Amino acid sequence: MRSLFFNLFFLLTTIVYAFVNALLSLLPGRKLMMGSLRRYCKLIVWAMRHIAGIKLSISGHENIPEHGPVIIAAKHQSYGDGHAVFSQFVDLSFVTGDAITKFLFIGRILKKMNAVVIDNCGGEDARKTMAQTSKIVREQGRRILIYPEGHLSQIGTQHRYRKGVYHLYKDFNCPVVPLASNLGQRWNQNDWMKHPGPAKMEFLPPIMPGLDKEAFMAQLESMIETRSIELLDLEILGHLNPEDIGKTRENDSARTKREQRERGQ
**Is 34 inside any structural domain?**
no
Q: Which domain holds residue 213?
A: 55-262
The pLDDT value recorded for residue 201 is: 98
**Is 19 inside any structural domain?**
no
The pLDDT value recorded for residue 143 is: 87
Per-chain mean pLDDT for the chain:
87
Q: Please indicate whether residue 96 or residue 16 has the higher confidence score (pLDDT).
A: 16
Taking residues 90-119, what's their average pLDDT? 71
pLDDT above 90 (res 227): yes
pLDDT above 60 (res 122): no
Q: 37-55 pLDDT, tens per residue?
A: 999 999 999 999 999 999 9
Confidence of residue 109 (pLDDT cuts 50, 70, 90): confident
**Terminal-residue alpha carbon distance, the chain:** 47
Least Cα distance to 9 among 78, 80, 58 occurs for 80
Look up the pTM and report it: 0.87
**Is 181 inside any structural domain?**
yes
**Is 240 inside any structural domain?**
yes
Say how far apart CA 257 and CA 265 lie, in whole Å: 9
**Is 27 inside any structural domain?**
no
Q: Are the C-beta atoms of residues 74 and 147 closer than 8 Å to each other?
A: yes
**Is 35 inside any structural domain?**
no
| Number of domains forming the structure of the chain | 1
Q: Where are the beta strands (DSSP E) in 3-53?
A: none
Q: 145-202 pLDDT, tens per residue?
A: 999 998 899 999 999 999 889 988 988 888 999 999 999 999 999 999 999 999 999 9
**Is 167 inside any structural domain?**
yes
**Is 165 inside any structural domain?**
yes
